[in-house]
Structure 1
Amino acid sequence: MGDHGHHHTHVHGHDGHDDHGHERGAQGQPGGTSRRALLGAAAGGMLFMAAAPGSARAATTGTAATGSSAAQAAGGASRASLITQGTTLVHADLHNHTAMSDGDGDPALAFASMRSAGLDVAALTDHSGVFTIGGLSSSEWKRTATLADAANVPGVYTAIRGFEWTHALLGHANVWFSDSYVDMSLAPGMGAFFDWLDDKEAVAGFNHPGREELRFNEFRHHAAVHDRMVSLEMFNRTDDYLFEGWSSGMSSPLVTCLNAGWRTGLTGVTDEHGTDWGFPEGKGRSGLWVTENTRAGVLEAMRARRFFATRVSGLRLDATAAGVRMGGQLPLTSGDVRFRVDLDRGAEWTGKPLNIQVLRPGSAAPDVVDVITTTAGRISEFTVPLDTADGNWVVLRVSDPAQANGSPGPAGHACNDWGVAYSSPWWLQG
């Protein structure tokens, strides 16, 4: 880990956040009983019970499940940032499967399940076929669009059709907002996939990076789709991918991807293959800061990398560096950068001790140049010296110091504790 200059930290308490938390077991730990809801009819005006370990709470679901009503249904913090204006937080799961590929569930139930779970944005991304058993057919691709269109309620709930390009050795990549899909018959390698993507208006992301051994040809950069590759999964199911493959001698996928020149935001996903889409606690999900909860609004936020990865429900994370929001560019060669972080999860996490780790490029693992101690439910402000000579990106990782990382990196590394969330990166532009 690199040395760092002095920083000054100020942690401010605040009032005014919604207290709609549900109990999820001790300190929100992963695993245990899932927040399986007692689903009632999805018709407007019906009641459903959002059940969680030790609690049950009723909420009305009409045609609108936005703002505080959705926050109450899902638990957690309110959707308004305390440090920026003009956008609203939406909770999203952008990676899900059904029986149309290798999942177990009826695709007709998936979007309703995710909406009932309190998600605001959901995507179905079944595998494309050829070398994938049970991959999408053209009729199933059309059916995915029909199901998404039927579930989509602009301003309330955004349902998206996508697919997962699948290569057993190179890796898997999700594609969203495309009118067509591609499989290995037409895109058998990374170059062919990127050539196909370059011809579309779609956006895409690197899935569970490092699970497949060639790791997208070690994330070799492809300039033509630089802007279209918008995401890197840091949480997939219950796993933190920061040190994926480290025990086998591999470098951090985060470091390898960003050092290769990609400008991906960071996401969490459930990669759900079961039948309880949206409900299990402890699986990945994403928070997007949108100007409106519509397909156009979600696509704009994805293109701007204005989102974060987490694996706890109801989390609000907003962050600025020198006034620039996560996912943006810092007009800086070197100097002190002031960060502001709004971190909240509602009443049940108020006062919970957390760390904010400042990640910078390393050769194999990220350098942690600062660790700021804070508590949930507060705004944290701190200053960190940054220099493009040390690399052009910076990421904030929120962690729970009381729990261990199930996939640790180098001995003594500051990120060997349990990851709660990742901001999308900032990029320094000297």
Structure 2
Amino acid sequence: MPYGQVNVAPTLGRRALLAGTGGALMLAALPTSARASHTTTASAPTATAGAARTSLVSQGTMLVHADMHNHTVASDGDGSPEAAFASMREAGLDVAALTDHATLFAIEGLSSSEWRTTGDLANAANDPGQFTAIRGFEWSHPLQGHINVWNTSDFADLLRAGSPGSLYNWLTGRPGGLASFNHPGRELGRFNNFSFSASARDQLVGLEMFNRTDDYLFEGLSSGLTSPLVACLNAGWRPGLTGVTDEHGTTWGFHEGKGRSGLWVTENTRAAVFEAMAARRSFATRVSGLRVDATANGVRMGGVLNVTSGDVRFLLDLDRGPVWDGKPLRIQVLRPGTSVPTVVDVIDTVNGRVTDFTVPLNVADGDWVVLRISDPSLTNGTPGPAGHPCNDFGVAYTSPWWLRS
């Protein structure tokens, strides 16, 4: 049976080509640190049991651990797609996607036959209730950036959609399709600086805050750019926040310290996973086994608050299980700023605790709020301005809430 779309509310090997003219074009748009990360050897696989999957602040859903951004030899990865889903399931992931690059004329990315093969492999690996296997693709522009797309019956390369705007038009013609801004800020064009498309807003459900081992909160700031989080949310987009490994090697899923996502689903099936993504019931992290759930005035992260101004009560459920018993952590309340987020409150907490706190919010200061969880004993590898409260080590981000305007 061909890979189906779920309805919800892409003689010379490609690795050689990527190292040659086409690859040089893509890599030339990357800062030195990002180019180097393409050849970084993955750390040895580790595992941790982590926390229970039931939220202490909401009901009706369970936590699944997901990685929605992975590559194989179908584009610029090293490993066979036939091995990828089994590796991710063995590593303990509950939800996993293959998203090989779609570039131009299938020269450096997916071909139509590889797209069909990936769908067949996802169907074979999919085990409703236990493991959700998903086919997607990564629309890849060397200057404007990369966007993952899932839950479509076809894919768009740069011939079909040569700009972010044309990709949004393509996507809105596929109502069940969902998409994410990948490693935001790495490519200099930054999706035409996150130029907003109202028609595509509901389908752009993700913004990668952790990609590989990097925290993207301050990406590009040293070059005079705005924080990708601030630029994206201030432009009017309403994504959930995510973490991904962006795996290009052969040990899919076995990476402690690389990005991953938590999703709050009603069941572990494709339909329920896509519903949770569309509802922005997600959090970004780069540690395994972490549980994060949060409400603001009873509204779960990813939702809209019926508030224009006033005190907002937050409940944050944060737990990684016994491995982090008693570990001091910090909650930073992020609000809109000009170039970096404004931190309006910082709350000390401990792993395994539900933290209850109240923050005054006013839509006149901006219509979004995000909680960042950090480890104050470690430093941010990509720091912001001197003295910024988020210059410590990011552990997780909740999806935003939006204030009624």
The SS at the match of 1:150 is helix
1:179-218 to 2 correspondences below 5 Å:
179-200=153-174, 201-218=176-193
Query: For 1:330-386, what per-residue CA distance to the aligned partner results, in whole angstroms no more than 9, with x for missing partners?
Result: 000100000000000010101101000000000110000000000111110000000
Residue 209 of structure 2 corresponds to residue 260 of structure 1: no
Alpha-carbon shift at residue 132 of structure 1 (Å) = 7.2
Aligned pairs (5 A) from 1:266-305: 266-305=241-280
What residue in structure 2 maps to residue 158 of structure 1? 132
CA distance in 2, matches of 1:81, 1:265: 18
Distance in 2, Cα, partners of 1:300 & 1:363: 32
Q: Of the candidates 300, 303, 316, which is equivalent to residue 325 of structure 1?
A: 300
SS in 2 for 1:258: helix
Distance 1:35 1:379, change over 3 A: farther
- Give the direction of change, closer, same or farther, for the CA distance of 1:35–1:159 in structure 2 (3 Å limit): same
What's the RMSD between the two structures over aligned residues?
A: 1.3
Return 224-233 or 130-139, whichever deviates more: 130-139
Specify the SS of the correspondent of 1:227.
Answer: helix
Aligned pair partner of 1:91 in 65, 77, 88: 65
| Residues 361/132 of structure 1: CA separation in 2 closer, same or farther (3 Å cut) | farther
Take 2:41 and 2:190, find their aligned partners in 1: how far apart are those partners? 32
Pick the aligned partner of 1:395 from 359, 370, 374.
Answer: 370
Give the Cα–Cα distance (whole angstroms) in 2 for the partners of residues 113 and 92 of structure 1: 13
Which residue of the partner structure matches residue 105 of structure 1? Answer: 79
Could you tell me which residue of structure 2 aligns to residue 19 of structure 1? Answer: none
The letter of the residue matching 1:411 is A
2:284 and 2:86 map into 1 onto residues whose CA distance is 23
From 343, 352, 372, give the equivalent of 2:347. 372
The code of the aligned residue for 1:101 comes to S
Rounded to whole Å, the distance in 2 between the matches of 1:362 and 1:336 is 20
SS in 2 for 1:340: strand
Matches within 5 A, 1:33-182: 34=43, 36=45, 52=46, 74-130=48-104, 134-182=108-156
Structure 2 CA distance for aligned equivalents of residues 340 and 32 of structure 1: 39
Deviations 1:85-118 (A, max 9, x none): 1000000000000010000001101000000010
Alpha carbons 1:74, 1:118 under 8 Å: kept: no
**1:326/1:425 contact within 8 Å kept:** yes
What does residue 235 of structure 1 align with? 210
Deviation of the 1:74 alpha carbon: 4.8
AA of the residue aligned to 2:254: F
Partners of 1:323 and 1:375 lie apart in 2 by: 22
Within 5 A, what are the aligned runs for 1:331-346?
331-346=306-321
2:11 equivalent in structure 1: none
- Report the CA distance between 1:33 and its aligned residue: 8.5
Query: In the TM superposition, what is the alpha-carbon distance from 1:186 to its structure 2 partner?
Result: 1.3
Distance 2:106 2:196 in 1: 25
Contact kept? 1:129, 1:137, Cα under 8 Å:
no
Counterparts in 2 of 1:199 and 1:224: CA distance versus 1, 3 Å = same
TM-score (norm 1): 0.83
Aligned to 2:6: none
In 2, Cα distance between the equivalents of 1:410 and 1:34?
30
Distance 1:270 1:132, change over 3 A: farther
Q: State the one-letter code of the partner of 2:316.
A: V
Query: What is the Cα deviation at residue 295 of structure 1?
Result: 0.2
The Cα of 1:134 is off from its aligned counterpart by: 2.6
Q: Deviations over 1:364-415 (max 9, x none)?
A: 1000000000011111000000000000000000000000000001110000
- State how far apart, in whole Å, the 2-side matches of 1:290 and 1:33 are: 30
Give the AA of the match of 1:277.
W
Structure 2 CA distance for aligned equivalents of residues 33 and 214 of structure 1 = 28
Aligned equivalents of 2:302 and 2:232: distance in 1? 15
Q: Is 2:103–2:141's contact at 8 Å kept on the other side of the alignment?
A: no
How many Å apart are 1:260 and its aligned residue?
Answer: 0.2
Looking at secondary structure, tell me which structure has more helix per residue.
2
Q: Distance in 2 between matches of 1:391 and 1:161?
A: 36
Please list every run of at least 4 consecutive aligned residues from structure 1 whose deviation after the TM superposition is greater than 6 angstroms.
Answer: none
Unaligned stretches of 5+ residues in structure 1: 1-30, 37-51, 53-72
Q: TM-score, normalised by structure 2?
A: 0.88
Q: What is the number of equivalent residue pairs in this alignment?
A: 365
